[in-house]
Structure 1
Amino acid sequence: MSKIKAAIIEDEIPAARLLCDTLSALRPDWEVQLLPGNIEEAVEWFARHPHPDILFLDIQLTDGNSFLFIEQARPESMIVFTTAYDEYAVRAFTVNSIDYLLKPIHEERLLQAIRRFEGLSKNYIHDFKAESRMMEVLQQLAVAQESSSSTHKKYRTRFLISSGEKLLTLQVSDIAYFYSENKLTFAVTHKNREYLIDLALDRLCEQLDPDRFFRTNRQTLVCIDAIQRIESYFLGKSVVHVLPPFKDKIIVSKDKMASFRMWLNY
């Protein structure tokens, strides 16, 4: 039986390497190759090489939306999209042999996509109607991105804090991490001052910049600037050391490690 050939087109090098490593670990018998993360070079590669059996394709590449790549390269591969778009926007991709992975990519979800490919590959019949719908959705996403490029989501920058009879403003930039205890949420600043916040961690995750804050576990939400070092823990877990120090161990589970590493590499 011939070896399965897989290729990855992803413009963020750390994310591409992480996906490649995870894919190789899950399927060590596959031949996995990283391709250029831009349309021009990727199209050129497809013109000169046999097409891989499965292609992991980022929707947004450095020089445009991936529908341009598909139009020009016409890949014969089964495609798994990788994307930061929400699930609703890419639901139309789950037709025929098409699947999608939301970033950050979790190992369990990647394994589901692999198994779906393995289940479909033996009886795969190209569906031109499915391809047409896929191209239409990709084009709509490209238009939507262009129209919203100047209107990025605005994240919370401060909190209004009650301190005795006074009100004060706490800047998000001053916060090292948040933690939850006894159904209360606290913010700890870089100067080791602690404030009660009237929001649950789940709500904070929605309101804070995800490039700056990561939900390490159910109890803690950590700013990138507060992280001092990371140590390996048992069963694939890791311990995150922050400054100012937290009173308990901040443990990142094995399931979250892949997305945590990707976040650290941004």
Structure 2
Amino acid sequence: MKPTIDSTASNAALRAVIIEDEFPAARLLASTLRRLRPQWNITTLPGNIEDSVHWFNSNPHPELIFLDIQLSDGNSFDFLSQARPTSIIIFTTAYDEYAVRAFNVNSIDYILKPVDESRLLEAIVKYETLIGGSCSPRPADYLENLLESLQAPVKRYRTRFLIAGADRYRPLSVDDIAYFYSENKITFAVTHTAQEYTIDLSLNKLIEQLDPDQFFRANRQMIVGIHSIAHIEPYFNGKISVTVKPRHKTLVTISEEKVTAFKLWLNF
């Protein structure tokens, strides 16, 4: 089900548009915005490029857009290139491992889904502080800088590790690793052939160096590789359990807060 256009009229209010392809996420964001800024004029558009571009071609552009990075028929770069909005952009994303790094530049901000009210308020205050509300124009080169940042060169990620043995070192390719886990503050890499090696990095450091298309931070103890996923099943309290190959000695679970991001990662 797609969000429908829903706006409230107010000539004096700051105008904000939500472009989000998940109806529950769009509804939550709109209701939270109306609670935080009841004087704003909020419009929710369908989360696809074609309808959103048509709306921007037919209506005055708002001061602010809450824009989902991945839309149902493309991505935010395609929308921005076609609609050429005169608005300031605040991105929304379910990807907490890598996407936000590319968008938190200049006066650009981002909000992780599901929307946290305090984080949303921070983004609003940042906008109001930098832009001064609805009266101040955005920088002349804002859109071009934004499009350039969306086209930024892809970051290079780690491709191998140097593993220490008894009397020699050997390289271990990241492609050979099924998943990483932490136990007693020691990090282990498990290969697709069930061999284990000690890695001299924490999971927090590792996730910054691994390709986010290939690896996902499942929980505090584990990073799973895309090719290690055998199947997933519902668990309790909104969680899901993940069966990896080779089998891990403990149950691998994804928290309710990360389920959407995990499913998007699997389907990317």
TM-score normalised by the chain length of structure 1? 0.69
Match of 2:48 among 36, 51, 71: 36
Equivalent residue of 1:236, what SS?
coil
Per-residue CA deviation, residues 100-146 of structure 1 (Å, 9 max, x unaligned), is 434xx3314378538988xxxxxxx96231x424x644332334555
Which residue of the partner structure matches residue 110 of structure 2? 101
Which residue of the partner structure matches residue 38 of structure 2? none
Query: Relative to 1, partners in 2 of residues 1:36 and 1:254: Cα closer, same or farther, differing over 3 Å?
Result: closer
Which residue of the partner structure matches residue 210 of structure 1? 212
Match of 2:164 among 162, 165, 168: 162
Which residue of the partner structure matches residue 181 of structure 1? 183
Equivalent residue of 2:107, what SS?
helix
2: CA distance between counterparts of 1:107 and 1:246? 29
Deviation at 1:32, TM superposition (A): 5.1
- In structure 1, runs of 5+ residues without a counterpart are 10-15, 94-99, 118-124
Are the counterparts in 2 of residues 7 and 34 from structure 1 also a CA contact under 8 Å?
A: no
Deviation at 1:35, TM superposition (A): 4.1
1: CA distance between counterparts of 2:246 and 2:113? 30
Are the counterparts in 1 of residues 64 and 90 from structure 2 also a CA contact under 8 Å?
A: yes
| Residues 64-103 of structure 1 aligned to structure 2 (within 5 Å) | 65=80, 69-71=84-86, 80-82=90-92, 84-86=99-101, 89-90=104-105, 92-93=107-108, 100-102=109-111
1: CA distance between counterparts of 2:64 and 2:107? 19
Match of 2:138 among 121, 132, 135: 132
- In structure 2, runs of 5+ residues without a counterpart are 1-5, 9-15, 32-41, 70-74, 94-98, 125-131
Equivalent residue of 1:230, what SS?
strand
Deviation at 1:261, TM superposition (A): 2.1
Are the counterparts in 1 of residues 100 and 110 from structure 2 also a CA contact under 8 Å?
A: no
How many corresponding residue pairs?
231
Which residue of the partner structure matches residue 56 of structure 1? 66
Are the counterparts in 2 of residues 57 and 66 from structure 1 also a CA contact under 8 Å?
A: no
Equivalent residue of 2:172, what SS?
strand
Are the counterparts in 2 of residues 176 and 243 from structure 1 also a CA contact under 8 Å?
A: yes
Are the counterparts in 2 of residues 58 and 66 from structure 1 also a CA contact under 8 Å?
A: no
Q: Which amino acid aligns with 2:101?
A: D
TM-score normalised by the chain length of structure 2? 0.69
Which residue of the partner structure matches residue 255 of structure 1? 257
Equivalent residue of 1:180, what SS?
strand
Matched, 1:23 2:30: no
